[in-house]
């Protein structure tokens, strides 16, 4: 009996440690940073989509500094997010008002997602790279690109929350 309890306890502890990691990240001073660790599967001029794999850190960070405008729960399904996340999956949307306009950070539920925790509240001011949420057991994260920024990544790239630059501000002349 004791070996089984020990194995379950150690296993639970290990899973908890794996999915609740939040390593230090050096936040670059310029550019828009990735909101999540994972593999990029879609890039357009106005949106980037990332699948968060089981081995990735599941902490979600603010891509740009700004003020939390709203937090919305959008109903939907909980299909698996393996190579990409289905468009009809449920998600939590954090809208951030930035100097370049509003951006959305969508924390997407997958088939095995236990919960999504949001660490911010409306009207709260956040710095670029700040921890704003957590997805327990992976899935995906989408972010919109504000006016004046250009994506610099491509599908297949591996990105890291808070430290990988995903878009740069266009110079104005």
Q: Which residues are catalytic?
A: 139
Q: Are the CB atoms for 85 and 108 separated by under 8 Å? A: yes
Count CB atoms within 10 A of the CB of residue 119. 14
Phi, psi torsion values for 107, nearest 5 degrees: -100, 110
Taking alpha carbons only, the member of 31, 60, 27, 40 closest to residue 158 is 40
Phi, psi torsion values for 12, nearest 5 degrees: -65, -45
Please, is 53 exposed, middle or buried when counting C-beta atoms within 10 Å of its C-beta (0-12, 13-18, 19+)? middle
Q: Are the CB atoms for 43 and 128 separated by under 8 Å? A: no
């Amino acid at each position: 009996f004791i070996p089984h309890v020990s194995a379950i306890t150690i296993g639970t502890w290990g899973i908890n440690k794996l999915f609740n990691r939040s390593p230090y990240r050096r936040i670059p001073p310029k550019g828009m940073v990735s909101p999540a660790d994972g593999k990029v599967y879609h890039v357009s001029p106005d949106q980037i989509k990332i699948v968060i794999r089981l081995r990735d850190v599941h902490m979600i960070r603010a891509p740009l500094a700004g003020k939390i405008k709203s937090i919305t729960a959008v109903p939907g399904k909980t299909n698996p997010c393996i190579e990409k996340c289905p468009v009809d999956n449920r998600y939590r949307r954090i809208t951030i008002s930035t100097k370049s306009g509003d951006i959305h950070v969508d924390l997407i539920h997958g088939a095995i997602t236990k919960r999504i925790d949001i660490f911010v509240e409306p009207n709260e001011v956040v710095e670029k790279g700040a921890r704003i949420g957590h997805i327990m057991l992976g899935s995906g994260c989408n972010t919109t690109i504000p006016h004046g920024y250009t994506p610099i990544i491509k599908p297949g790239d591996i990105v890291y929350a808070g430290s990988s630059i995903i878009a740069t501000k266009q110079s104005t002349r």
